[in-house]
Amino acid sequence: MTATPQPTVFVVDDDDAVRDSLKLLLKSIGLAVMAYPSAPEFLAAYRTEQAGCLILDIRMPGMSGLELQQQLNVRGAVIPVVFISGHGDIPMAVEAMQHGAFDFLQKPFRDQDLIDRVQKAMERDAASRDQLRQLGRIQERLDSLTARERQVLGLMVLGKQNKVMAGELGVSQRTVEIHRARVMEKTEARSLAQLVRMTLQLEHRSE
Amino acid sequence: MPDRPTTQSFELQALLDAAVDAVILINHTGIIEVFNHSGTRLFGYSPDEVVGRNVKMLTTGRDREQHDGYLARYLQTGVTHVIGTGREVLARRKDGSLFPAFLSVGRIAGSEPPRFVGFIQDITRHKQALEAAQHESDRANQYLEAAQTMLVVLDRAHRVTLINRKGCEILGRDESSLLGIDWFDAVVPSEQRSKAVFEISAVAGLEPHQPHYTEYAVSATDGALHLIAWRCVAVQDATGSVTGILCSGDDVTDNRRADEEATEARERMMHVSRLATMGEMASGISHELNQPLTAIANYAQASVRLLALPNHDLGDVREALEQIAGQALRAGEIIRRLRSLVRKRETQREQAGINELITELNSLTRADARSSDVRIILKLAADLPCLSLDRVQIQQVLLNLLRNCIDALESIPAGHREVIIGTGTTAAGDVFVEIADNGAGIAPEMLPHLFTPFATNKSQGTGLGLAISRTIVEAHRGRLEYRANKPRGAVFILTLPDERGLTG
């Protein structure tokens, strides 16, 4: 798995001139750009771990920008989508925003407006990917726990005393203390509070 | 008889016998002295049977009873009810039957005591003819009064000589207030008066029974104006000279109002559909123009940034500038091809039955067709599938085709102008509408340009109708085609696909 090392701006627009000019404009700012003439071609080439943002024409023949956005949501992609639309497409733009689009721009637009939005979208993408990586690390640590240790973790986050846990698990208090220490060590949690936060983060992601 | 016949009296007898009327001479007591041949013919008595007897035998009833009295009174007072004037009497034949007769009586000059001569004319036939005429006239009057048409007869000076009940009803006036007065002064609004008088004067120049049609309003006493469609013919006397004008009129105020309302509704619809199309086109145009404008802005802004780079590549900038020029030309091309944008605009699709659209349209164009004397016949197939279409656009196409037919039928004599609108399904399951007329058809040299914009053979028209219609139909994935009608005329066929199941 070779993720694109540099965050990239992806452009999907069926209009050759619009697509090509966007590519040139983004390149002139020094951004990496990949451009596609249709939604299916982009979907075929894109992998969700590729960082960057997506500039998407809302109105295209075949699969529209809105349909592509839904496909990306289904795949669990986090890449922020900036829609570009004409004057008559405000209702479609509203719908796009409701489905989690990052922003939208009306054609034609000032280069500065585009750059601002692209940069914000890239920052958002970096932040979400950072968060994802953190969650991934937490998951890895929790995955390293034994079944018994996971049981203890469950009781710890509920705030149970060692004595109560020992009673519930049918083991000695001493054994509970050893499991607790192993849980704190493996999860690299510095406090019970941090441990609770980690488990909540994972729960939220799985929702 | 007191006198013997002489040569003179033979001549007199011959004269009397030649007379058509019965001639009877009586003396002052009513005794018959002379009775001629016509007397025998009328009464059935020979002279021998009546001469020497009282004349009252030839009459009946009150006359029979009082004839002696009449004579006595005349002799006494000199007052007569019959001499010099004559009167109608009832006469009695030998067989007892009665007949109406006209009796004129004269006193024989110089006779003393006076003698009288009577002339009796059988007026049976005359009476019958009079009665028949009266009956005829009564019946005509009944018709006149019962008629739901306004009937007015004017004399040569435009004075009313007759007006029927319906006429009085419409005007809200009595017959007596109209008879003898100037019709146009009395009931025609002043602004229409000179036109109405002018129109009516045309009637005098026409052949007898040849009607002249005109329309003018009359004002009722309540101030309401009634628009009347008039049919006027000259009235002639036995010698053929025009004595006046008979006008029959129908109140078309309500019809006209309905026609006007239908026209208004149609114009509203045309206006709305035009606005809708313009709005849609404007939206389509702005979208299409946005593309090259966006590209131009992007290329230009990229060029500025590229030039600001320390080691900029002029090749990239040149390419961008070439693109800018190309996109500007593209924008110009879009504006030039305005028409083609109808094809690309987003339409308001909804499920609709084609028959329903036609019926709706027909109700709007009925007045138009009627005023052009065109009969529109609908032959709509049952159980057609509903189509996903833009109602206004498809109705615009149908309206345009129908208007073309109505215009094309102008060259056909009234009464033979027909448009047949039929619907059905093709073997492939597509729905079609055929609009066929029996006009002149399309000239072969026009055929290649039939759907070309601005090609028209009409004096009024943009030449865009069929071009836009075909564009609209193609935007519905349908077809608009032409074929010649048999034996004559044009058929336009609009085919629309049944797209159920293709949309999901």
ipTM attached to this prediction? 0.71
In this complex, do B297 and A24 lie within 8 Å of one another by their Cβ atoms? no
- Can you tell me which residue has the tokens 């693109």? B323
pLDDT tens, position by position, B428-468: 889 999 999 998 888 888 787 777 655 555 544 444 577 77
Q: Does A61 touch chain B (CB under 8 A)?
A: no
Q: pTM for the complete prediction?
A: 0.40
Q: Which two tokens stand for residue B92?
A: 């009695």
pLDDT of residue B340 exceeding 50: no
Q: Which residues pair with A56 in a beta bridge?
A: A12, A83
Closest CA to B226 of B195, B192, B185, B203: B192
Q: Does B348 touch chain A (CB under 8 A)?
A: no
d(CA B385, CA B383): 6
Q: Which of A24, A84, A87, A113 best tests the B interface by mutation, with the highest count of B CBs <10 A?
A: A24
Residue B440: CB atoms within 10 A of its CB come to: 14
B297 half-sphere exposure, CB direction, 13 A CA radius: 15
Distance from CA of A63 to the nearest CA of B (A): 14
Distance from CA of B317 to the nearest CA of A (A): 10
In this complex, do A108 and B298 lie within 8 Å of one another by their Cβ atoms? yes
Q: In the structure, how many helices (H) and strands (E) does chain B have?
A: 14, 17
Q: Does A24 touch chain B (CB under 8 A)?
A: yes
Residue B344 pLDDT class (50, 70, 90 cuts): very low
What pLDDT score was predicted for residue B494?
A: 94
Closest CA to B334 of B295, B273, B291, B386: B291
pLDDT of residue B3 exceeding 70: no
Q: Which amino acid is at B88?
A: E
d(CA B193, CA B251): 18
In this complex, do A88 and B286 lie within 8 Å of one another by their Cβ atoms? yes
How is residue B444 annotated by DSSP? T
Q: Which two tokens stand for residue A31?
A: 């951004």
Comparing alpha-carbon positions, the chain B residue that sits nearest to A111 is B301
In this complex, do B295 and A29 lie within 8 Å of one another by their Cβ atoms? no
Q: Which amino acid is at B110?
A: G
Q: Which residues pair with B100 in a beta bridge?
A: B90
d(CA B453, CA B342): 14
Residue among B283, B286, B302 minimizing CB distance to A28 = B302
B214 contacts B230 by C-beta, under 8 angstroms: yes
CA B104 to chain centre: 55
Per-residue pLDDT for chain A (207 aa), expressed as one digit of tens each? Answer: 444 468 999 999 988 999 999 999 999 988 999 999 999 999 999 988 899 999 999 877 778 888 898 889 888 888 999 998 876 567 777 888 888 888 888 888 899 999 999 999 999 999 988 888 888 888 888 888 888 898 898 888 888 888 998 998 899 999 999 999 999 999 888 888 888 888 887 777 654
In this complex, do B302 and A111 lie within 8 Å of one another by their Cβ atoms? yes
What pLDDT score was predicted for residue A178?
A: 92
Comparing alpha-carbon positions, the chain A residue that sits nearest to B310 is A28
What pLDDT score was predicted for residue B1?
A: 46
Q: Which two tokens stand for residue B380?
A: 């709509």
pLDDT of residue B282 exceeding 70: no
What pLDDT score was predicted for residue B460?
A: 45
Residue among B286, B301, B323 minimizing CB distance to A17 = B323
d(CA B153, CA B147): 14
- Within 8 A of A22 by CB-CB distance, chain B residues are 298
Closest CA to B365 of B492, B266, B433, B260: B266
Average pLDDT value for residue range B306-322: 90
In this complex, do B294 and A21 lie within 8 Å of one another by their Cβ atoms? yes
Closest CA to A149 of A188, A174, A173, A177: A177
In this complex, do B294 and A107 lie within 8 Å of one another by their Cβ atoms? yes
d(CA B32, CA B5): 16
Q: Which of B298, B307, B334, B346 best tests the A interface by mutation, with the highest count of A CBs <10 A?
A: B298
Comparing alpha-carbon positions, the chain B residue that sits nearest to A14 is B291
Residue B284 pLDDT class (50, 70, 90 cuts): low
Comparing alpha-carbon positions, the chain B residue that sits nearest to A112 is B301
Q: Which residues pair with B219 in a beta bridge?
A: B225
**Given strand B212-219, what is the order of strands in its sheet?**
B160-163, B150-155, B242-251, B225-236, B212-219
- Can you tell me which residue has the tokens 């849609």? B280
d(CA B191, CA B187): 12
